[in-house]
A and B are shown apart, each in its own frame.
Chain A
């Protein structure tokens, strides 16, 4: 898979997305997700970034048939960042967070602008291979827990996944924690520093 939406030729992906091809949209999401999430980091203590990110992507899918690129690189990603930022600000206002710090929004918006061209680590084939090899070393229960989340694709709450595995909810969550810490240790032994956030 290409390293970034720009390398992949976002215009080509745009044609497919406009035509309603969900698999092409999925490909674009896989390229854009990390940078879009990074753009929301300034809001992370105040809004649920995961919820804002998912809602933003749904809205991008809905508006893309009417979207006209501006000719500059990553035009759809820039649209997505604008949609996400506006949603995050709406959440702040809904929660009356706009009363907390009048300078916060300006700082957040400036930070989001700076992060537009951030790197996309998600498609690094060496990293992917290392993660897969580390996964094979996990004990059964942590491996089952993290695999259940992957298989469910974010469509079911953890309580349902835990029940399916015959675990209590807290045991399931402890196994997720254990899985990511073991993966972190394994990746660290391979000199991969992405693991520090997982430990």
Chain B
């Protein structure tokens, strides 16, 4: 895997979308392809990215919160 491909996986896994539909939320395929250091990078980027998203959202909700609300709304 090139550094560019690895960076794309990190960036993709740092998004809030996860597979699962009506079932249990499952790991992102991009996350599954990363090594432990890449997964930690995803975590650190995500925790700050969610703050940014919440600040830019009209209701102050992160994309994680919105994904959860979408799931419980069915």
* A residues apposed to B, CB below 8 Å: 1, 22, 25-26, 29-30, 33-34, 37-38, 41, 44-55, 57-58, 61-62, 91, 121-123, 127-128, 131-132, 135, 146-147, 149-150, 152-158, 169-170, 173-174, 176-177, 180, 183, 194-195, 197-198
> A128 contacts which chain B residues (CB < 8 A)?
54-55, 60
Q: Which listed residue, B25, B28, B46, B53, touches A150 by the CB 8 Å rule?
A: B53
Contact B46 A50 (CB under 8 A): yes
Pairs across A and B, CB under 8 Å, 6 listed: A30-B61, A33-B64, A34-B51, A57-B68, A153-B66, A176-B11
Contact A173 B12 (CB under 8 A): yes
> A30 contacts which chain B residues (CB < 8 A)?
54, 59-62, 65
Contact B52 A183 (CB under 8 A): yes
Q: Which listed residue, A55, A132, A155, touches B70 by the CB 8 Å rule?
A: A155
Q: Which listed residue, B32, B47, B51, B64, touches A154 by the CB 8 Å rule?
A: B64
Q: A22-B73, A37-B47, A58-B25 are in contact. Are A132 and B67 (CB under 8 A)?
A: no
Nearest chain A residue, comparing its CB with the CB of B43: A44
A188 to chain B, nearest CB (A): 12
Contact B71 A54 (CB under 8 A): yes
Nearest chain A residue, comparing its CB with the CB of B26: A51
Distance of A139 Cα from B72 Cα, bound (Å): 35
Q: Which listed residue, B17, B57, B65, touches A157 by the CB 8 Å rule?
A: B17
Q: A51-B27, A154-B15 are in contact. Are A34 and B47 (CB under 8 A)?
A: yes
A164 to chain B, nearest CB (A): 13
Distance of A193 Cα from B36 Cα, bound (Å): 25
Contact B12 A26 (CB under 8 A): no
> A122 contacts which chain B residues (CB < 8 A)?
50-51, 54-55, 60, 62
Extra pairs beyond A33-B50, A128-B60 (16, CB < 8 Å): A26-B69, A29-B61, A33-B64, A37-B50, A46-B39, A48-B13, A48-B31, A54-B16, A91-B27, A122-B60, A127-B51, A152-B63, A153-B16, A158-B15, A176-B15, A197-B47
Contact A154 B16 (CB under 8 A): yes
Contact A41 B16 (CB under 8 A): no
Which 8 pairs from chain A and chain B are nearest by CB? A153-B66, A154-B67, A154-B16, A48-B27, A44-B43, A131-B55, A45-B36, A128-B55
Q: A33-B50, A153-B70 are in contact. Are A198 and B45 (CB under 8 A)?
A: yes
Max count, chain A CB within 10 A of own CB: residue among B36, B47, B61, B73: B47
